[in-house]
Amino acid sequence: MERKDIRRIAVFTSGGDAPGMNAALRAVVRTAAWNKLHVYGIERGYEGMIDGHFKRLERRDVANIIQRGGTVLRTARSMRFMTPEGRAMAADHLRAYDIDACIAIGGNGTFTGAKIFSEEHGIPFIGVPGTIDNDLYGTDYTIGFDTAVNTAIEAVDKIRDTADSHNRLFFVEVMGRHSGYIALYTAIGSGASSVLIPEAETDLEELKAVFRKNKARGKLFSVVIVAEGHPMGGAAGIAAQIKDELASMEPKVTVIGHMQRGGAPTAADRMLASRLGHAAVNRLLLGEENVAVGVISNEVETTSFDDAIHKEKKPKSSLIEMASILSI
Amino acid sequence: MERKDIRRIAVFTSGGDAPGMNAALRAVVRTAAWNKLHVYGIERGYEGMIDGHFKRLERRDVANIIQRGGTVLRTARSMRFMTPEGRAMAADHLRAYDIDACIAIGGNGTFTGAKIFSEEHGIPFIGVPGTIDNDLYGTDYTIGFDTAVNTAIEAVDKIRDTADSHNRLFFVEVMGRHSGYIALYTAIGSGASSVLIPEAETDLEELKAVFRKNKARGKLFSVVIVAEGHPMGGAAGIAAQIKDELASMEPKVTVIGHMQRGGAPTAADRMLASRLGHAAVNRLLLGEENVAVGVISNEVETTSFDDAIHKEKKPKSSLIEMASILSI
Amino acid sequence: MERKDIRRIAVFTSGGDAPGMNAALRAVVRTAAWNKLHVYGIERGYEGMIDGHFKRLERRDVANIIQRGGTVLRTARSMRFMTPEGRAMAADHLRAYDIDACIAIGGNGTFTGAKIFSEEHGIPFIGVPGTIDNDLYGTDYTIGFDTAVNTAIEAVDKIRDTADSHNRLFFVEVMGRHSGYIALYTAIGSGASSVLIPEAETDLEELKAVFRKNKARGKLFSVVIVAEGHPMGGAAGIAAQIKDELASMEPKVTVIGHMQRGGAPTAADRMLASRLGHAAVNRLLLGEENVAVGVISNEVETTSFDDAIHKEKKPKSSLIEMASILSI
Amino acid sequence: MERKDIRRIAVFTSGGDAPGMNAALRAVVRTAAWNKLHVYGIERGYEGMIDGHFKRLERRDVANIIQRGGTVLRTARSMRFMTPEGRAMAADHLRAYDIDACIAIGGNGTFTGAKIFSEEHGIPFIGVPGTIDNDLYGTDYTIGFDTAVNTAIEAVDKIRDTADSHNRLFFVEVMGRHSGYIALYTAIGSGASSVLIPEAETDLEELKAVFRKNKARGKLFSVVIVAEGHPMGGAAGIAAQIKDELASMEPKVTVIGHMQRGGAPTAADRMLASRLGHAAVNRLLLGEENVAVGVISNEVETTSFDDAIHKEKKPKSSLIEMASILSI
């Protein structure tokens, strides 16, 4: 069956917000306008699709948003979209607006919804990977990851000032519910003493040995980066388990938290978002569908939703090893 | 009794570190050098005084530190200095180095130590108020407060991006163990919905009413700033107490934490620290002693250690009222 | 003559934009709403007043702007308002909207326009001092000054990194067409070697002597801060006049420029703007008019437009002297 | 001929400084220590090599520098090293310290010096690409580029605030003497209206047409990014040539300048520098020499000095085209 010409598209952001989503939206709208497409923005992701919250977006509507954190379309997690009834309502709205295809900016859950919906209702989707966690297969980096890492590193730089003044040990928890990407990059970038992530075995005896050695060598402070999703219970869990060892170092636990999701996107995130938003429209016009765009080895590539959703992406083991060598 | 000529002074930082302490140290050293005094820096506050960790500081030794967070002299809290024996050892070292007077950069505990020591051993002290909490009588602002507030506000600005994208409620805890200054200034500066501080009654029923009203009005997110020392148990304590009311808003608790102590000092903190470090030396040379310098109504003033230690400083009630009016 | 009850007010920003203007606008609108006043925002200052660009502003219209640089009402310099005809058109519009009083956020030119207009047309004005230059009498600091100084200092901190790596001399020009405030505060805050401002005599021979002495002492780089309005022609002018002396130091000239006008306002500017916007409405309701609000010695005060416009405010000579002592 | 075992290495930074050089140095020293090598740091690049300014660097000597801009080893451009006599002196010093190989952190000129020296004196070199300009063949990105682009974008974000408030046109010049990389990435990241770089034809008539069209469309401000090395004379040159067209838009020229060389390195630059410093030592130990390390398509690769020096690297034309599509 031949595909309908693409004349009208919808775009939305969904799932957890990530800095750079606005830059991606801008690129979608402007590339679409350049190609004479009509664009509708859907508010609050699948929720707005179900409720019919659509608005026409023209070039000037996305002026002056490239530098803004969050997403001007707002975002949500939608329970209703997990039901056939919810999806049917969403499909009705898309048909009412005569939408030929959708561009979905989000993460794993967003792509899963898109795949199921597209199979049920025959509307083509392109996914744009927007999530700070970087745990999506099909792209070297996801939109928002570079900003989140920079935010975490700036926080650790500040904590280091006070750790350095005081002879202290800090356990700093960064985001990443299932993934150690943010933690690993933050640890390398901040020169942390150790990094504890789900993807690598954590040996508490070894960690204690490091502290003892550092102390013996006169190292005056240590910062340990812990991924939120560490199976021992995040930073608080780890600190609790080796408390006795650490008594003399006044260990402190800091959770950097939600500020990692916000802030003006970095240069790299603005560039990545611009490239991917631009590519999403171009790939759609070239006939691709139900794929996610990504940048792999500096080139734009596409990956089937199936692979993007199910294949695993993990930090390179060479980086984990390097982190350990450089921390000493 | 006539006071000895001041020819050799010692300077140190003590207690919690605060951004701008290095700028104050630089001002002390350079103003002293200008006046042909010899300056010794003592490492780790009273601990270093007891252990004899003194080093000669000349003009060039404090080059390129004005912008650095933390304190290059490092800091500590000293249990030994609370004993007569500890103070006697410290006095021996000061006499061995032939120190005529000391300049102590720190907070309430630092000044208390200075006062007791000076009364016991007859060595004049000048205090320079360095603490992020701003809860010291005798100066409108303490060194580090402006930086801490800016750090907290930048964090809230980022959290606001994500709150705004998601329709969420955030409880953000800022530093201030006994004081709501950082919380109040952060709330006004970040446009928070509410601020909960030890200095003002907290009425949880009223707070819930605000949330209900905001929701009815379609206000899409709220940020509540809570002082660490709030008697209901900080942000986590407050959030727990009104959890049921908030279920539909997905309340999140964020503790900004120790990053508020670090970072490059702001312009205002560098200026304040420069003025106070400069004034500390000048006042010493004019014959003052056992006073803290401060800036009150834009002028440098001195306050007796007794008043600085015992009198209370509280946020203006007019600011608390204004915060409430502007948040609506 | 008794004054009309104040029920409807207009607010606008005019002249050069300054960070914090949005925070002041927010405070005006919310304080007015609290007092049951109706508020109209005028776009592009006196230009919009002449052209009738008014819009109703309610509490929620100023949500989420406290952190934004620039001014959402936009600003302009108006030639037409300098003519009686232009002002008559403006007055017609104010009367058409039944405006009882105006709040003008801007600098010297803005206040001058307000004073003339008010005398001609009998509509009360309150001025709110918004200008990065800090050269307005009647307030210790103007809205935007603290942000501009922080921006300049952050720029110098970065330049210092490279100067320090390379053994270089930098002439850095900061804003201030008639005033050395930004230059002086930037110099003290960045630890510059020298500062050249209109308010103090510049002796080039002395400056050369400083360079020679620094070189002899092994000081490896120097940063000289120059006010834009320095009578010898700003940074470029000064550098040209002592070029020969400096050949071996590879002198560089940097003009920080318009970025000093932008950026998210600092904590201090948000606080000052909130206090002054809030006070402007309160003072109006208390019957004051044709005055500028300001913060003097930490208290809100008002100053007649006449004094605000004509009296001179200058950096304290004690700060100029201190800058010189600390730079060595 | 079999190569001597590598036991003692020297490392230095040379040419223009770039943020991340310290992170690279740290990675070299720690990876070398891990491999039981002795490391000497040479101050001020080839100048220090000629003058014998070597110092032993151990692991702890590079603690707490990863976040610092500039280079703690300082840098210089050396005329003497361009002469056989200068190089002979440098070789004498290397032999005196029994140095088996050198790691040179710098740009094109640094690598050229290394190649000539190595051919003359038989000491193996590895190059690490550190220059903000990104114009080095053999690596997708050079150390310092990401930081410089972020600094430029932050400056443009601030300028945009004021441009937006005022209806203005800004010509913003960014660094890049022979290359438009910084300009192109800054333009895409800041959402600029146009970008003028040496690598693409500049048609002033077309630029004027854009301004006319923007004006007709009610676009209220424009920012044009110009590469320093633009053949029409940088931002000032371009602005002068179309002055008449622009009179009504109050065009302003801003040169961001040397602050682009400084500042704390970004996450990406710290990561890149860590990987390349680490790889430089590893490759040396694997027997490679007279090559530059780089990251190409996310993998560490080496390129012969010949290629790194002589082959040209240019921005992708697809990015130039995308910049134009997104700017509208």
Looking at C262, C292, C322, which one is the last position of a domain?
A: C262
Helix/strand/coil percent split, chain B, to 5: 45, 20, 35
Model confidence at C20: pLDDT above 90? yes
Judge whether C327 lies within some domain.
no
Taking an 8 Å cut-off on Cβ atoms, the answer to whether C186 and B267 are in contact is yes
- Helical ranges in chain D per DSSP H: 21-34, 45-51, 84-96, 108-121, 145-166, 181-190, 204-216, 234-241, 243-246, 267-285, 305-310, 317-326
Closest Cα in chain A to B22: A165
Question: Are B158 and B43 found together in one domain?
Answer: no
Number of domains in chain D: 2
Taking an 8 Å cut-off on Cβ atoms, the answer to whether C266 and B271 are in contact is no
Model confidence at A1: pLDDT above 60? no
Judge whether C187 lies within some domain.
yes
Taking an 8 Å cut-off on Cβ atoms, the answer to whether A153 and D66 are in contact is no
Question: Are C13 and C61 found together in one domain?
Answer: yes
- The neighbouring-strand residues paired with C222 are C169
User: What is the CATH classification number for the domain harbouring A237?
Assistant: 3.40.50.460
Q: What's the distance, CA A271 to chain centroid?
A: 15
C chain contacts of residue D167, beta-carbon cutoff 8 Å: 74, 76
State chain D's mean pLDDT as an integer: 94
Model confidence at C1: pLDDT above 50? no
A170 interface with B at CB cutoff 8 Å: yes
Judge whether A19 lies within some domain.
yes
Is A133 known to be catalytic?
yes
pLDDT band at A79 (very low <50, low <70, confident <90, very high): very high
Judge whether A219 lies within some domain.
yes
pLDDT band at C315 (very low <50, low <70, confident <90, very high): very high
- How high is the pLDDT of residue D1? 45
CA dist D123 and D110 (Å) reads 15
CA dist A45 and A22 (Å) reads 14
- How high is the pLDDT of residue B1? 45
CA dist A117 and A109 (Å) reads 12
Question: Are B30 and B158 found together in one domain?
Answer: no
Phi, psi of D68 (to 5 degrees): -95, 135
Question: Are C140 and C280 found together in one domain?
Answer: yes
Model confidence at C318: pLDDT above 70? yes
Two tokens at B132?
Answer: 């992020």
Phi, psi of B108 (to 5 degrees): -55, -50
Question: Are C12 and C131 found together in one domain?
Answer: yes
- Helical ranges in chain A per DSSP H: 21-34, 45-51, 84-96, 108-121, 145-166, 181-190, 204-216, 234-241, 243-246, 267-285, 305-310, 317-326
CA dist D123 and D101 (Å) reads 6
Q: Which of B162, B219, B254 to mutate to test the interface with A (most CBs of A within 10 A)?
A: B162
Two tokens at C312?
Answer: 């001179």
Looking at C229, C246, C262, which one is the last position of a domain?
A: C262
CA dist D45 and D16 (Å) reads 10
Phi, psi of D310 (to 5 degrees): -100, -25
Closest Cα in chain D to A150: D267
Compute the nearest-CA separation of D186 from chain A (Å): 8
Using alpha carbons, select from C148, C299, C321, C195 the residue that is nearest to residue B275. C321
Question: Are D63 and D98 found together in one domain?
Answer: yes
Judge whether A247 lies within some domain.
yes
Q: Is the dihedral of CA C196, C200, C204, C206 positive or negative?
A: negative
**Farthest-apart Cα atoms in chain A, separation:** 72
Compute the nearest-CA separation of D75 from chain A (Å): 23
Question: Are C270 and C137 found together in one domain?
Answer: yes
Spatial strand order in the sheet of B194-196: B194-196, B222-227, B169-174, B252-255
- The answer to whether residues B53 and B21 touch, using CB atoms and an 8 Å cutoff, is no
pLDDT digits (tens, 9 = 90+) for C72-124: 999 999 999 999 999 999 999 999 999 999 999 999 999 999 999 999 999 99
Compute the nearest-CA separation of A19 from chain B (Å): 9
Three-class SS state of A257: helix
The single-letter DSSP state of residue B221 is -
CA dist B64 and D265 (Å) reads 18
Taking an 8 Å cut-off on Cβ atoms, the answer to whether D189 and A59 are in contact is no
CA dist B129 and B293 (Å) reads 7
Taking an 8 Å cut-off on Cβ atoms, the answer to whether C328 and B267 are in contact is no
Q: Is the dihedral of CA B168, A256, A175, A251 positive or negative?
A: negative
Question: Are D87 and D112 found together in one domain?
Answer: yes
pLDDT digits (tens, 9 = 90+) for D220-266: 678 999 999 999 999 999 998 888 777 777 789 999 999 999 999 99
Q: Which of B22, B44, B133, B161 to mutate to test the interface with A (most CBs of A within 10 A)?
A: B161
Taking an 8 Å cut-off on Cβ atoms, the answer to whether A27 and D326 are in contact is yes
- Give the H/E segment covering residue C245: helix C243-246
CA dist D17 and D4 (Å) reads 32
Two tokens at C130?
Answer: 């918004």
Percent over 90 (pLDDT), chain C: 84
Each residue of B109-136: b (16+ CB within 10 Å) or e?
bbbbbbbebbeeeebbbbbbbbbbbbbb
Say which residue the tokens 């006010």 belong to. C227
Model confidence at D184: pLDDT above 50? yes
pLDDT band at C163 (very low <50, low <70, confident <90, very high): confident
Q: Which chains touch A (3 or more CB pairs under 8 A)?
A: B, D
Cα Rg of chain B (Å, integer)? 22
CA dist B293 and B104 (Å) reads 11
Judge whether D98 lies within some domain.
yes
Judge whether B321 lies within some domain.
no
Closest Cα in chain C to D170: C258
User: What is the CATH classification number for the domain harbouring D272?
Assistant: 3.40.50.450
C69 interface with D at CB cutoff 8 Å: yes
pLDDT digits (tens, 9 = 90+) for A238-297: 998 888 777 777 788 999 999 999 999 999 999 999 999 999 999 999 999 999 999 999
User: CA dihedral defined by B107, B112, B117, B123, rounded to 10 degrees?
Assistant: 60
| Strand residue runs (E) in C147-258 | 169-174, 194-196, 222-227, 252-255
Question: Are C86 and C193 found together in one domain?
Answer: no
- Give the H/E segment covering residue C9: strand C8-13
- The answer to whether residues A26 and D320 touch, using CB atoms and an 8 Å cutoff, is no
Say which residue the tokens 């995308």 belong to. D322
Spatial strand order in the sheet of C54-56: C54-56, C38-42, C8-13, C101-106, C125-129, C291-296, C299-304
- Give the H/E segment covering residue B222: strand B222-227
Residue-by-residue pLDDT tens, chain B, 328 positions: 457 799 999 999 999 999 999 999 999 999 999 999 999 999 999 999 999 999 999 999 999 999 999 999 999 999 999 999 999 999 999 999 999 999 999 999 999 999 999 999 999 999 999 999 999 999 999 999 999 999 999 999 999 988 878 778 899 999 999 999 999 999 999 999 999 999 999 989 988 888 888 777 776 678 999 999 999 999 999 998 888 777 777 788 999 999 999 999 999 999 999 999 999 999 999 999 999 999 999 999 999 999 999 999 999 999 999 999 999 7
Least confident interval from B242-256, C94-108, C143-157, C248-262: B242-256
Per-residue CA distances from D69 to C159, D128, D270 (Å): 10, 17, 11
- The answer to whether residues D182 and D156 touch, using CB atoms and an 8 Å cutoff, is no
B155 interface with A at CB cutoff 8 Å: yes
State chain A's mean pLDDT as an integer: 94
Question: Are A249 and A118 found together in one domain?
Answer: no
Please name the member of D31, D164, D189 whose beta carbon is closest to the beta carbon of A270. D189
D chain contacts of residue A59, beta-carbon cutoff 8 Å: 328
D166 interface with C at CB cutoff 8 Å: yes
Question: Are C80 and C63 found together in one domain?
Answer: yes
Q: Number of residue pairs across A and B with CB atoms under 8 Å?
A: 112
Two tokens at A134?
Answer: 């970087």
Model confidence at C328: pLDDT above 80? no
pLDDT digits (tens, 9 = 90+) for A98-139: 999 999 999 999 999 999 999 999 999 999 999 999 999 999
Angle in degrees, 0-180, between the axes of helices C145-166 and C267-285, rounded to the nearest 10: 160
Judge whether B327 lies within some domain.
no
- Give the H/E segment covering residue A225: strand A222-227
Q: Number of residue pairs across B and C with CB atoms under 8 Å?
A: 122
pLDDT band at A220 (very low <50, low <70, confident <90, very high): low
Tell me how many degrees the CA angle B138-B144-B150 measures, rounded to the nearest 5. 125
Say which residue the tokens 């021979």 belong to. C205
Q: Supply the ipTM of this predicted assembly.
A: 0.96
- How high is the pLDDT of residue B220? 63
Mark which residues 221-260 of B lie under 8 Å from C by CB: none
Strands D101-106 and D54-56: unpaired
CA dist B83 and B63 (Å) reads 36
Compute the nearest-CA separation of C72 from chain D (Å): 7
Closest Cα in chain D to C70: D161
Tell me how many degrees the CA angle D235-D239-D243 measures, rounded to the nearest 5. 175
Model confidence at C2: pLDDT above 70? no
Q: Is the dihedral of CA C214, C216, C220, C226 positive or negative?
A: positive
- Give the H/E segment covering residue B241: helix B234-241
D chain contacts of residue C162, beta-carbon cutoff 8 Å: 17, 69-70, 258, 261-262
Closest Cα in chain D to C257: D254
Which of these is catalytic: A100, A133, A135, A146? A133
CA dist B250 and D177 (Å) reads 52
Question: Are A127 and A167 found together in one domain?
Answer: no
Give me the domain span that covers residue D168.
145-261
What's the one-letter identity of residue C202? T
Per-residue CA distances from B188 to B206, B328, C24, C74, C273 (Å): 19, 12, 12, 23, 10
Percent over 90 (pLDDT), chain A: 84
Spatial strand order in the sheet of C169-174: C194-196, C222-227, C169-174, C252-255
Two tokens at C6?
Answer: 């104040």
Element counts in chain C: helices (H) and strands (E): 12, 11
Phi, psi of B65 (to 5 degrees): -115, -10
Which of these is catalytic: C5, C61, C100, C133? C133
| N-terminal to C-terminal alpha carbon distance within chain A | 61
B216 interface with C at CB cutoff 8 Å: no
Looking at B230, B261, B292, which one is the last position of a domain?
A: B261
